[in-house]
Amino acid sequence: MSGISKIVGRGVYVPGNDIDTDRIIPARYLKCVTFDELGPALFYDVRFNEDGTSKNHPLDAPEHQGAEILISDNNFGCGSSREHAPQAIQKFGLQAVIAGSFAEIFHGNCTTLGIPCIVMDKDNREKLVAAVQDSPDAEIIIDLEALQVICSNSIYPMTMKESAREAFLAATFDPLDNLLSATSEIRQIAEKLGYA
Amino acid sequence: MGRNLFQKVWDDHVVRQLDSGQYQVFVALHMIHEVTSPQAFGMLKDKGLKVAYPERTCATVDHIIPTDDQSRPLSDEMAEKMIQVLSDATEESGIEYFAPQSGSQGIVHVVGPELGLTQPGMTICCGDSHTATHGAFGCIALGIGTSQVRDVLASQTLAMDPLKVRRIDVEGELPPGVTAKDVILHIIRLLGVNGGVGYAYEYAGSAIDNMSMEERMTVCNMSIEGGARCGYINPDETTFEYLKGKEKVPAGSDFDEAVERWKSYASDADADYDDIVTIQAADLRPTVTWGVTPAQAITIEERVPSPDEVDGLEKNLITDALDYMQLEADAPIKGTRIDVAFIGSCTNGRLSDFEAVAEVIAGKKVADNVRAIAVPGSEKVDKAARAAGLDKVFAEAGFEWRLPGCSMCLAMNPDKLVGSEICASSSNRNFIGRQGSPTGRTILMSPVMVAAAAIEGRVADAREVFELTGAAS
Ligand code: SF4
């Protein structure tokens, strides 16, 4: 695993507060035993009518095809703990999410998968969104080291959970190897608490 | 300064601090089900890993299982496959599996407590956000994603940040017709859907103390709907009484010893909290949602809000929610016509929920325009309800009595809303499309309020419909 210090790509804005994981990936797409096929189902019911015709969602706008950075509003990813939501985001080709705030379980799931969740205040987000709408081709650089987002020669301050930032930079965002390196300490706790 | 329950359980279960600053926490009980867990076994295989502590994980099937015909193979091939992958994986790894027709199958958060797997002072994880339910027993119970399910299977531990603790005191006696569901809907309305981010909620106060374990589970269940990572209630005599004699609970002198240990986890009287909120039980009324988040709730006596009352983003939220729900601004919620009534889910699918409803619907009939279903939370609930003749009371009133499962709470099985049908539901989420139709609508409420709506064919005040004047049920 290598570290993540920068994400570079084009942006797409999906407006709304409290966008829940049922909306990010409707429950019927949870019928799967691997996550591989989830990309096309991202935001399905907000992107398509029941007859399959497009609702002209930003993700389907020609100018945003191939965008790598999702921008949204407050409390993004609330609701169900389904990892299918960040999996669908990643399989769709998105590499980072910028929002006003995130729901916790969603944030944790994203971090483990290597999707940085970037927090940006409303003023800066509005300016960034305006920049993306004006020139959808503009490159956005998310710099985790400098805690800056750069787009069209403007710099937007960002924050993120410090433990997640550390983990991205140190390439330990998938914690499993780290967790497994403490087998004897784990055993001790299990025995002490009568769990083993 | 004393410690609260969260701190005590945390201190006992922390293995060490990780370089990232997070902590590695031992998981005492891990529960898995067919929707978010089969993928984790694949991930383990890819890494050549085995389940480290199979005796600390239990499995059941609930999310996708049909509630009308459970004969195998299931007609939905993918559902069949998911259940098969889970049962094969559990067999291979030596994990106990509560299969359909075993007598112990059911919704994961109903099964854990009724078997006595859930015990005070534990850290509990499950790939499901309503794991907080188990907090009713004084546990730190967390919903996790599939990669974390993998972590727990492989190491029995989890990487996480510590939480702040907000104590929410509900003081006094609940008025007649006001239930545990109304308490938690009120709390979420008050503190917002993200008011709990970064927190564990400790529910306390005399109204909580007086609740049964099943009512406490209803309250803790929806902690996540308020953004809290988990919610808990300090263990007390009610807790120990409930656990006594349960299948997985120690018996005899071991039980007495366990009780002493369990007691020690309760928050100290001088414990420190990051925040304290006090609510007067007497102020509460039967509460229902009007919008598309559980915080968009009002009492049955109130009117739906109007976007004109507020500015900015809030305005759009109200306008969008009203549009979606096809409700008129500033109109009373009472009287809103419904199509479907659903009683069930891990929030309100326990025996006491069906008992409370049976008591009031006996001799009454579901309105002609309403499709009403009652889905017990587990095989044990189903069995006990049938033994008491509740299934007949429901059937005579016009409810369909189903087999156990999550059913219309998330509609991954054939139980779904059709088109823009509107459902009075005892479940926990009224998100857009939650009940299986992209345009389906949900109004959350307590089981007795669902029963009142089913009978009237409209959102109604259970206190009037059933003349509830006595003690709260
Ligand atoms: S009943 Fe609903 S909320 Fe509870 S576990 Fe099942 S799907 Fe999740």
Q: Does the pLDDT of residue A75 top 70, yes or no?
A: yes
Question: Residue B78 is nearest to which of A31, A162, A189, comparing CB atoms?
Answer: A31
B323, two tokens: 């549009």
Q: Which contiguous run of DSSP H or E holds residue B190?
A: helix B180-191
Report d(CA B159, CA B157) in Å as an integer: 7
Strands of the sheet containing B29-32, edge to edge, are B96-98, B57-60, B29-32, B123-126, B140-143
- B460 inside domain: yes
Query: Do B116 and B34 share a structural domain?
Result: yes
- B281 inside domain: no
Q: Does the pLDDT of residue A1 top 90, yes or no?
A: no
Q: What is the pLDDT of residue B422?
A: 98
CA-based torsion, A58, A61, A64, A66: positive or negative = positive
Mean pLDDT in chain B? 96
Q: What is the pLDDT of residue B472?
A: 42
Residue to mutate, B61, B63, B425, ligand 1, most ligand atoms under 8 Å from C-beta: B63
pLDDT tens-place string over residues B3-39: 999 999 999 999 999 988 899 999 999 999 999 999 9
Domains and CATH numbers, chain A: 6-192 (3.20.19.10)
Report d(CA A192, CA B158) in Å as an integer: 18
pLDDT tens-place string over residues B38-73: 999 999 999 999 999 999 999 999 999 999 999 999
Atom of ligand 1 nearest to the CA of B109: 5
Report d(CA B187, CA B370) in Å as an integer: 30
Domain extent, residue B379, equals 290-465
Report d(CA B406, CA B4) in Å as an integer: 33
Alpha-carbon distances of B11 from B131, B366, B462, rounded to whole Å:
20, 52, 45
Report d(CA B322, CA B316) in Å as an integer: 10
Write out chain B residues lying below 8 Å of A76, CB-based: none
Q: Does the pLDDT of residue A41 top 70, yes or no?
A: yes
Query: Do B71 and B198 share a structural domain?
Result: yes
Report d(CA B68, CA A78) in Å as an integer: 31
Please report the beta strands in B290-389, taking only residues with DSSP state E, as ranges in sequence order.
297-299, 340-343, 371-374
Task: Examine residue B73 and say whether the peptide bond preceding it is cis (omega within 30 degrees of 0).
Answer: yes
Cβ(B130) to ligand 1 under 6 A?
yes
Q: Which residues contact B41 (CB under 8 A, 6 or more apart)?
A: B85, B89, B93, B153
pLDDT tens-place string over residues B105-160: 999 999 999 999 999 999 999 999 999 999 999 999 999 999 999 999 999 999 99
Query: Do B350 and B258 share a structural domain?
Result: no
- B472 inside domain: no
Query: Do B81 and B14 share a structural domain?
Result: yes
Query: Do B298 and B256 share a structural domain?
Result: no
Q: What is the pLDDT of residue A33?
A: 87
Query: Do B294 and B146 share a structural domain?
Result: no
- B50 inside domain: yes
pLDDT tens-place string over residues B231-264: 999 999 999 999 999 999 999 999 999 999 999 9
- What is the average per-residue pLDDT within B76-80? 92
pLDDT tens-place string over residues B155-185: 999 999 999 999 999 999 999 999 999 999 9
Q: Is the Cβ–Cβ distance between B183 and B170 less than 8 Å? A: yes
Q: What is the pLDDT of residue A76?
A: 97
Contact B229 A180 (CB under 8 A): no
Q: Does the pLDDT of residue B471 top 70, yes or no?
A: no
Question: Residue B39 is nearest to which of A28, A33, A172, comparing CB atoms?
Answer: A33
Mean pLDDT in chain A? 95
Q: What is the pLDDT of residue B470?
A: 60
Query: Do B177 and B91 share a structural domain?
Result: yes
Candidates B157, B296, B416: best to mutate against A (most CBs of A within 10 A) is: B157
pTM equals: 0.95
Look up the ipTM and state it. 0.91
- B273 inside domain: no
Q: What is the pLDDT of residue B423?
A: 98
Q: Is the Cβ–Cβ distance between B428 and B403 less than 8 Å? A: no
Q: What is the pLDDT of residue B314?
A: 81
> Helix or strand or coil: residue B412?
coil
**Position B313 confidence tier, pLDDT thresholds 50, 70, 90:** confident
Residue of B nearest to A29 (CA): B412
- B470 inside domain: no
A48, two tokens: 């398509």
Query: Do B305 and B236 share a structural domain?
Result: no
- B278 inside domain: no
Say which CATH number the domain at B304 has.
Answer: 3.30.499.10
Put simply, whether A169 touches B (Cβ < 8 Å) is no
Query: Do B75 and B206 share a structural domain?
Result: yes
pLDDT tens-place string over residues B396-408: 999 999 999 999 9
Query: Do B247 and B186 share a structural domain?
Result: yes
Q: Which residues contact B467 (CB under 8 A, 6 or more apart)?
A: none
Put simply, whether B159 touches A (Cβ < 8 Å) is yes
- B284 inside domain: no
Put simply, whether A5 touches B (Cβ < 8 Å) is no
pLDDT tens-place string over residues A85-138: 999 999 999 999 999 999 999 999 999 999 999 999 999 999 999 999 999 999
Query: Do B239 and B375 share a structural domain?
Result: no
Side chain identity, residue B246: K
Q: Is the Cβ–Cβ distance between B86 and B34 less than 8 Å? A: yes
Domain count, chain B: 2
Query: Do B302 and B246 share a structural domain?
Result: no
**Position B473 confidence tier, pLDDT thresholds 50, 70, 90:** very low
